[in-house]
Amino acid sequence: MTAKLPQNAKPYRRTDVFTEHTTPPGLLKAHTTKEGAWALIHVLEGRLIYRVIDPRRLKSETVLTPQSGQGVVEPTILHEVEPQGPVRFFVEFHRIEGGK
């Protein structure tokens, strides 16, 4: 099952655009978002592997491209990314109105 961003989630912050050379090391290894923080991974160019590796979810691996749509990151769910050659992407953080 693919996670979906709740309809009432609103953006509150986004990262700079990262490339295969500037991706922060923390994104390349297992990490989570905070409680209540959803995220959308937007790939502008190239290919980025998005892996969900949390034991509370089915493990999955998705190749994100500009044509594939965004990767949805659920709050507190362990995940990682891996650039596949040249890539440009950013992460947009969302929270539910009135939430944390």
pTM to 2 decimal places: 0.93
Considering the domain boundaries, does residue 62 fall inside one?
A: yes
Domain of residue 26 covers: 9-96
79 within 8 A of 31, measured Cβ to Cβ: yes
pLDDT one digit per residue (tens) for the chain, 100 residues = 468 999 999 999 999 999 999 999 999 999 999 999 999 999 999 999 999 999 999 999 999 999 999 999 999 999 999 999 999 999 999 999 775 5
39 within 8 A of 10, measured Cβ to Cβ: no
Task: Please report the pLDDT score of residue 99 as a whole number.
Answer: 57
Task: Please report the pLDDT score of residue 97 as a whole number.
Answer: 79
Report the CATH number at residue 69: 2.60.120.10
Task: Please report the pLDDT score of residue 60 as a whole number.
Answer: 93
Domain count, the chain: 1
55 within 8 A of 71, measured Cβ to Cβ: no
